[in-house]
Structure 1
Amino acid sequence: MEENKLQNQINEINLKLDKILEEIEYLQRKRREMEDLKDDLLRVGKDLYQTTVKELDEVHDYISTGEILFLGKKVLRNISTLTKTLEQLESARDFLQDAAPLARESFIDLMNKLDEFDRKGYFTFAKELGKVTDRVVTSFSPEDVKKFGENIVTIINTIKNLTQPEILQTANNALAVYKNINIDVNEKISLIRLLKEINTPEVKRGLYYAIQFLKNMSNQQKEDNNANKTNSR
C-alpha cells in the first residue's frame, strides 16, 4: 500500500518536472527569438545609423539640428492635418478608381463622334476652310485689314440692309428677269419707235423707279456727307 502511494507521489513529481521542463524550454525558445530579434534590430539600426550619418554629412552645411527639431515639432503639431491630407488622397484615389470606367466610356464616345465627323467630311471641310483662310490672309495687307476694321460697322449695316425681306425679294425678282430676259435687236430702231416705247406704262414705271432710286441715293449721300462733317468737328 505504501509502495503504491510512494509510486503515485513519484509520478506526480515527474509530471511536475515535465511541466517545468516544458516551461523552461518555452522560455529558452522565447529568449532565443528575442536574441535573434535583437540581433536583427541591431543590424538594421546600425545600417540605419550609418546611412543617416552619411546622408546628414552631405547636407550638414545646409541644415542645423535646430531646424530638424523644428521640423519634427512642426510635423507633430500638424499630425491631424497630415491625417486629413492622407484621407483626402485616399478619397481622390477612390474617386479616380470610380471615375475610370466613366472616363473610358466618354473617351470611346468621343472617338466615335470624331469618326462620325470624319465620315461626314467635317475635317476635310475644315482643311479646305484653312486653305481659304490662307488665301485671304495672303491676299490682303495689314493696311487692308485696318481699313476693314474702320469700316466694319458700315459693312455690317450694309449686310443687314441687304438681308431685309423686301430687298431680297427685289434682288430675286431682278435676277429672275435678267435670267429670263431675251433681247435681240436685229433691226434699226428709229427715234419714233423709241419714243413709242418710252410712252408705254411699263417703261414709264421703270423710268420713274430709276429716277426715284437715284434721287434717294443723292439724298442719302448728302445726309452721309453732313454727318461726316459733324463728326469731324
Structure 2
Amino acid sequence: MEDKNIQMQIDALDKKLDLILGYVHQQKLQANMVEDLVGDLSIIGKDAYDSTVIELDKRQVEIDPSELTGLAVSVLRNIGNIKTVMDTLEMAVDLGKEVGPIANEVIIDFTKQMNTLEQKGYFDFIREIGPVIDNVIKGFSPEDLKELANSIVSILTIIKEMTQPEVLNIMQNAIKAFNSMETESVPSYSVWKLMREMNSPEMKKALGYGITFMKNVSKDVDIKE
C-alpha cells in the first residue's frame, strides 16, 4: 500500500515537472522572440538613424543636442495640454461624424429646392430683371428718382384706389369693349345719326357716367382751390 502511494506521489511530481519544463520552454521561446524583435528594431532604428543623419547632412541641417533635450522636456511638461488637445480633436472628429449625415441631408434638400425653383422659372425671371433695372437706370435721372420718392405716397394711394373692385370692373369692361371693337371697320356717324344714337339707353347711360365723372372732378378741384 505504501509503495502504491509513493508511486502516485512520484507520478504527480513527474506531471508537475513536465508542466514546469513546458513553462520554462515557453518562456525561453518568448525570450528568443523578444531578442529577435529587439535585434530587428535595432537594425531598423540604426538604418533610420543613419538615413536621417545623411538626409540632414544633405540639407545642411544642424541639430543641437541641448535643443532636443529642451524639446523633450517641453513635451513632457505639456503632456496634460497635449492630452487636452487630443481630446478636443477626438471630440471634433466625433462631432463631424454626427453632423456629417445631417449636413448631407441639408445639402440634398437645398439642391432639390433649387431644382424646383429652377423648373418653375424663378431663376429665368431673376435673370430677366437685370435688363429691366438697366432700362430704369438709363431712363431716369437721380432727380427723377428723388421726385418719385417724394410722390411715392400719392402714387401708392392712387394704385390702392384703382384696385377697388368697382374700379377694376369698370376698367375690365372698358378693356373688353375696346378689344371687341374692330378699329379698322368703325362706322362713320353723321350729325343726324349721332342725334339719334344720343336717344338710345346705352348712350344716355354713358353720358350720365361722363357728366357725373366730370362734375365730381370739378368738385374736387374747387375744394383744393
TM-score past 0.5 threshold: yes
1:45 partner letter? G
Quick one: which amino acid aligns to residue 49 of structure 1? Y
Q: Deviations over 1:136-169 (max 9, x none)?
A: 56x36xxx7xx51x66544212112222269846
Q: What is the SS of the residue equivalent to 2:88? A: helix
AA matched with 2:132? V
8 Å CA contact 2:56, 2:62 repeated in 1: no
Once the 2 structures are TM-superposed, how far is the Cα of residue 124 of structure 1 from its aligned partner? Answer: 1.5
- Taking the aligned partners of 2:159 and 2:39, their CA distance within structure 1 comes to 103
- Gap change, CA 1:62 and 1:155, over 3 Å in 2: farther
CA deviation after TM superposition for structure 1 residue 20, in Å:
6.7
Question: What letter corresponds to residue 74 of structure 1 in structure 2?
Answer: S
1:192 alignment partner in structure 2: none
Q: Which of 147, 158, 174 is residue 151 of structure 2 equivalent to?
A: 158
Q: Cα–Cα, structure 1 residues 202 and 31, in superposed 2: closer, same or farther, change >3 Å? A: closer
Counterpart position of 1:70:
70
* Counterparts in 2 of 1:211 and 1:127: CA distance versus 1, 3 Å: same
Q: Distance in 2 between matches of 1:204 and 1:97?
A: 78
1:132 and 2:125 correspond: no
d(CA) in 1 for partners of 2:153, 2:159:
12
| Unaligned segments of structure 2, at least 5 residues | 178-187, 192-210
1:47 alignment partner AA: D
How much does 1:125 deviate? 0.6
Aligned equivalents of 1:90, 1:25: Cα separation in 2: 44
In structure 2, the CA distance between the partners of 1:104 and 1:211, relative to structure 1 (3 Å rule), is same
Alignment match, 2:90: 90
Q: Given residue 157 of structure 1, which amino acid in structure 2 is its aligned partner? A: N
Report deviation, 1:75: 2.3
**How far apart are residue 73 of structure 1 and its match?**
2.6
- Using structure 2 for the length normalisation, give the TM-score: 0.58
Contact 1:161/1:167, CA 8 A, preserved across alignment:
no
Once the 2 structures are TM-superposed, how far is the Cα of residue 52 of structure 1 from its aligned partner? 2.8
- How far apart are the structure 1 equivalents of 2:189 and 2:17? 146
Residues 117 and 123 in structure 2, CA contact (< 8 A), matched pair in contact too: yes
Per the alignment, residue 111 of structure 1 pairs with 111
Whole-Å separation in 2 of the counterparts to 1:113 and 1:201? 54
Q: Quick one: which amino acid aligns to residue 158 of structure 1?
A: S
The residue that corresponds to 1:39 in the other structure is: 39
Find the residue that maps to 1:163 and give its secondary structure.
helix
- Alignment of structure 1 residues 1-233 onto 2, 5 Å: 15=14, 22=22, 25-58=25-58, 61=61, 64-136=64-136, 139=138, 148=142, 152-164=145-157, 168=161
Q: Percent identity?
A: 28
Q: Deviations over 1:35-64 (max 9, x none)?
A: 212211211211221233234335554764
Which residues of structure 1 form unaligned runs of 5+?
188-199, 217-233
